Structure 1
Amino acid sequence: MIEPRSLQRQSRRLSRLLQFKLGAKGQTLAARHRGVGRYLPHKVRRDLATLEQAETMMGHPKLAMRVDAAKVDAAYRRAHAHLDGVSRHARLKAYLLNVGAVVAFNLVVVATCVILYAKWRGWV
């Protein structure tokens, strides 16, 4: 059986990591997990769901005995390892590169359309 304080400590750590690394909003791990779900790999989302379920089960004495400590600990370690590897700088750089690529593509499309229109009208 896992200690409730240990589980709460793990949840708080992951919640803080979600907030700092991914900018998640919310007060609890569940709320922050819902906010950034699409930015996480499926396995990490599953691990966070395991921790959320264990945290819910710890609120009931009989269900608390059914929590698999090894499974919860493994889920915590995997989620923590992934979130430690996330770099805010790299995410910002990737975002800015994506925006730049979209703007450049749109400029090329607009320029092509203007040139084709000018040719069609006989201006060029």
Structure 2
Amino acid sequence: MADMTDISDEARQLEELLDRGFGTGGQGLATALRKAGRRLPRRIRRAGQAVVQAEMMAGHPKLVRQIDRRRLGQEAARLRSYLEEIDPKARRIDMALTILRSLALNALLLGALLLALAHWRGWL
């Protein structure tokens, strides 16, 4: 039974890290991973799914023996190390800069199109 609480505690800590880094809300690790979605690299999503699966298996007395503790520890450590490196403030700044770059490019293309139209119509 102590193993189940260890796995649940680990999952809860990983969920808190996901919430801090991505603002996923507190609905459980599986929901937090689903909300983070493609913002996480594939190997990190898989590591999270392994922890979620182990957490579900830990609730069943016969399935708890099938959990590979070494692999679970490695996957949890991989997920934890990735999530601890995330800086939420830097993520927001990067997202804002990406949006601004996109808007600037669109404005530049629209300006070029208007200049081409003016030249074609003989206004310039």
How far the C-alpha of 1:2 sits from its partner, in A, is 7.2
Q: Would you say 1:55 and 2:49 are equivalent positions?
A: no
* Partner Cα separation in structure 2 for residue 18 and residue 100 of structure 1: 26
Letter in 2 for 1:24: T
Residue in structure 2 matched with residue 11 of structure 1 by the alignment: 11
* Partner Cα separation in structure 1 for residue 101 and residue 57 of structure 2: 47
Tell me if the contact between 2:16 and 2:26 (Cα under 8 Å) persists in the aligned partners.
Answer: no
Q: Describe the SS at the equivalent of 2:66.
A: coil
- For residues 62-97 of structure 1, the C-alpha deviation after alignment (integer angstroms, 9 at most, x for no partner) is 111111111111111110000000111221121111
* Partner Cα separation in structure 1 for residue 117 and residue 111 of structure 2: 10
Residue in structure 1 matched with residue 27 of structure 2 by the alignment: 27
Gap runs ≥5 in structure 1:
none
Runs of 4 or more, structure 1, over 6 Å off, are none
Q: Describe the SS at the equivalent of 2:13.
A: helix
Tell me if the contact between 2:4 and 2:58 (Cα under 8 Å) persists in the aligned partners.
Answer: yes
Gap runs ≥5 in structure 2:
none
Residue in structure 1 matched with residue 90 of structure 2 by the alignment: 90
TM-score by length of 1: 0.94
Tell me if the contact between 2:15 and 2:28 (Cα under 8 Å) persists in the aligned partners.
Answer: yes
- For residues 34-70 of structure 1, the C-alpha deviation after alignment (integer angstroms, 9 at most, x for no partner) is 1112011111111101101101111111111111111
- Aligned identity (percent) is 31
Residue in structure 2 matched with residue 110 of structure 1 by the alignment: 110
Tell me if the contact between 2:33 and 2:45 (Cα under 8 Å) persists in the aligned partners.
Answer: yes
Q: Describe the SS at the equivalent of 1:25.
A: coil
How is 1:63-74 mapped onto 2 (pairs within 5 angstroms)?
63-74=63-74
The root-mean-square deviation of aligned C-alpha atoms, in Å, is: 1.4
How far the C-alpha of 1:99 sits from its partner, in A, is 0.7
* Partner Cα separation in structure 2 for residue 2 and residue 71 of structure 1: 18
* Partner Cα separation in structure 2 for residue 46 and residue 69 of structure 1: 16
How far the C-alpha of 1:25 sits from its partner, in A, is 3.1
